[in-house]
Amino acid sequence: MENFMFKNFISKILSHQKVAVFSHLRPDGDCLGSQVALSLWLQKNGIEVTAFNEDDVPGNMNWLETFFPISKPSKDKLQDFDAFIVVDGNALHRFGETAESLKNLGKPIFMVDHHPDPDDIFEEFVSVVSASSTCELIYQLYAEHNADQIDEHAAKAMYLGLVTDTGSFQFDSVKPATMHVAADLLKRGEFTPNEITERIYASRPLRQLKLLSMALDTIELHANGLFSTICITQEMFEATGCTNEDTEGFVQYPLSVEGVKACVLFREDGDRIKLSLRSQSDKIDVNKWARSFNGGGHQKAAGAWHEGPLKKAVKDVISAGREQL
Ligand code: 5GP
Ligand code: MN
């Protein structure tokens, strides 16, 4: 990673007085951790900050909102700000309808992210595809400006993003630098790893495990065992009382089957099917695979949509995946 990648970003953003920070739809630990840590940084450096997300913060991460409040944006509020920052997403549509309307305001929009192919609408952006998480980049921002500004809240918020976006430090996006960042956050924030992981992983409601058990039953192998699929239907949601956010992490199970190189999770959502794709092979690019269904993401983790029904979605998606082999 370059040493001073935030130089222009820092000098430009600190010239504004009122800034709004957006995290992406269906928020996860990385976008929320980045948003909170970045908002705290801006505040410490004399800027008036508001944090926005169009969706609800998942229950197991709502402790972040005691560090910095996250509210719902509305189009009429946007005029109040001089500049905007979006984190953990490469295009405005990832942040929802209100964020998409920012492009008509004529005010500068900044971005910090680790997804490939960033949109070209940003005033200044830091986009590093090799970074384990956007939180690792926000740590670099602090480190370049004044690492002593990392307080307990900022450290815990960034650690959350590191843990969740690396599957608890398992993915190959984890580099020695990632571990250095994690260690420094633990030291500066004076907390232990389990303090964060217990909050996010050991707080599963029973309904979620019931849903997982139904979903595991649907795992199937395709393409001589190189691909696996898992399905979550509306019926399962109704039987267990679960919602979409209860499916967080399920996609790792089909990927853990011996011999499987890539997997797809299919989730019925209204009259469409949400796809989550994962690869654990350098030869299978799920970002490319997801693009055949108007989606995107990273080489090893991506998402997209299919118009359904479920059976057709599985057939179409697996058939598109075979082209990767
Ligand atoms: P997940 O499967 O966890 O929802 O998403 C995995 C990755 O794919 C994330 O990095 C996310 O940004 C990206 N992603 C998920 N859904 C979509 C989508 O509908 N469109 C695009 N472009 N990217 C997505
Ligand atoms: Mn991320």
Instruction: Write out pLDDT tens, residues 247-271.
Output: 989 999 999 999 999 999 999 999 9
**How many domains would you assign to the chain?**
2
> Which protein residues have their CB within 5 A of the ion that is ligand 2?
30, 88, 134, 165
Confidence of residue 140 (pLDDT cuts 50, 70, 90): very high
Whether residues 98 and 171 share a domain: the answer is yes
Q: Structural domain of residue 218, as residue ranges?
A: 206-322
- Predicted confidence (pLDDT) per residue in 173-203, tens digit: 999 999 999 999 999 999 999 999 999 998 8
ipTM of the complex: 0.93
pLDDT (mean) for 282-298: 95
Is residue 2 predicted with pLDDT exceeding 70? no
In terms of Cβ atoms closer than 10 Å to its own Cβ (0-12, 13-18, 19+), residue 128 is middle
Nearest CA to ligand 1 atom 17: 303
Confidence of residue 3 (pLDDT cuts 50, 70, 90): low
Whether residues 41 and 139 share a domain: the answer is yes
Ligand nearest to the CA of 133: 2
Taking the model in full, what pTM does it have? 0.90
pLDDT (mean) for 110-129: 96
Provide the 8-state DSSP code for 60: G
Whether residues 251 and 137 share a domain: the answer is no
Asked if 83 and 108 touch (Cβ cutoff 8 Å), the reply is yes
Provide the 8-state DSSP code for 114: -
Instruction: From 180, 200, 220, give the residue that closes a domain.
Output: 200
Q: So what's the pLDDT on residue 325?
A: 87
Q: So what's the pLDDT on residue 1?
A: 47
Whether residues 269 and 309 share a domain: the answer is yes
Of residues 52 and 203, which shows the higher confidence score? Answer: 52
- Let me know how long the chain is: 325
Whether residues 214 and 191 share a domain: the answer is no
Nearest CA to ligand 1 atom 3: 276
DSSP states along 65-93? GGTS-EE---GGGGGG-SEEEEES-SSGG
pLDDT (mean) for 100-107: 96
CA pair distance 280, 302, nearest whole angstrom: 12
